């Protein structure tokens, strides 16, 4: 089974802190994604990556950056956390191609106080 | 830009009922459509993926259909059980494996 593991289930950080959310997948997937999920707004794509060292902006990249130094690991970085970044963050991975399935991690609930 | 809508937003049924969850999308040029389950506070579990060339997919008590021409997909759950209670999300893949999600249907199956 594909496994996508996010480093933390719950995080509480202070406003202005630099926050790292880590995601690791064990199936050699090229594609990796970061989404955030908010009540009433659903899931929205923040950033994605099709390969090592490659990154592309999604729909809501403001206030975030990403790093992909190794194929299996995709990190989401909040440069200076703000209260409006309190959310559920979900990482996903998939193979390239038209008919590939996306697999998600268990989510990280981030609270910024 | 693709828009995905799920109706109803919430559904409560007695145990044993067969039920249908609806998903509609505005851009029919999809690569595939995927159905997920999400339990409260948890991540997404993939249930079924329907390729653009397929009409339906089945897994156990679940059957998902796809009609690209009308921009609709349905998830049929047979003989519902309390353990089926969760939020069900559909997502279209239009390009680059980036998913556009519907708002979800929150299902409660009462014993």
**CB of A38 less than 8 A from some CB of B:** no
Structure tokens at B57: 């997919």
pLDDT the model gives residue A2: 65
Name the token pair of A60: 């809501």
pLDDT band per the 50, 70, 90 thresholds, residue B44: very high
Q: What is the mean pLDDT of residues A17-27?
A: 97
The answer for residues whose C-beta is within 8 angstroms of residue A68's C-beta and 6 or more apart is A32, A49, A51, A52, A53, A54, A55, A74, A75
What pLDDT does B64 receive? 97
Residue B60 pLDDT exceeds 70 = yes
Band (A1; pLDDT cuts 50, 70, 90) = low
pLDDT at B95 over 90: no
From chain B, the residues in CB contact with A50 under 8 A are 96
CA-wise closest residue to B68 among B24, B22, B5: B24
- Give one DSSP letter per residue of B35-51, joined into a string: EEEE-TTS-EEEEEEEE
Searching chain B, which residue's CA lies closest to the CA of residue A107?
Answer: B43
Pick from A42, A25, A37, A22: nearest CA to A102: A25
- Residue B97 has a pLDDT of 81
């Amino acid at each position: 089974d594909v496994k996508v593991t996010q480093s933390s289930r719950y995080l509480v950080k202070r406003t202005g802190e630099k926050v790292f959310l880590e995601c690791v997948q064990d199936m050699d997937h090229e594609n990796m994604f970061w989404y955030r999920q908010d009540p009433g707004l659903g899931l929205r794509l923040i950033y994605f990556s099709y390969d090592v060292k490659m990154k592309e902006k999604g729909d809501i990249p403001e206030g975030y950056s990403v790093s992909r130094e190794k194929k299996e690991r995709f990190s989401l970085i909040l440069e200076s956390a703000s209260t409006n970044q309190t959310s559920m963050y979900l990482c996903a991975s998939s193979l390239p191609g038209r008919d590939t399935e996306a697999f998600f991690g268990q989510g990280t609930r981030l609270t910024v106080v | 830009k693709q828009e995905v809508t799920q109706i109803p937003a919430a559904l409560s049924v007695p145990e044993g009922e067969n039920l249908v969850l609806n998903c509609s999308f505005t851009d029919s040029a999809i690569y595939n459509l995927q159905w997920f389950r999400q339990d409260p506070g948890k991540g997404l579990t993939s249930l079924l993926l329907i390729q653009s060339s397929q009409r339906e997919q089945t897994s156990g008590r679940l059957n998902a259909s796809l009609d690209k021409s009308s921009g609709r997909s349905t998830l049929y759950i047979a003989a519902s059980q309390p353990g089926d209670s969760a939020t069900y999300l559909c997502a279209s893949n239009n390009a680059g494996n980036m998913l556009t999600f519907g708002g979800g249907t929150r299902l409660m199956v009462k014993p």
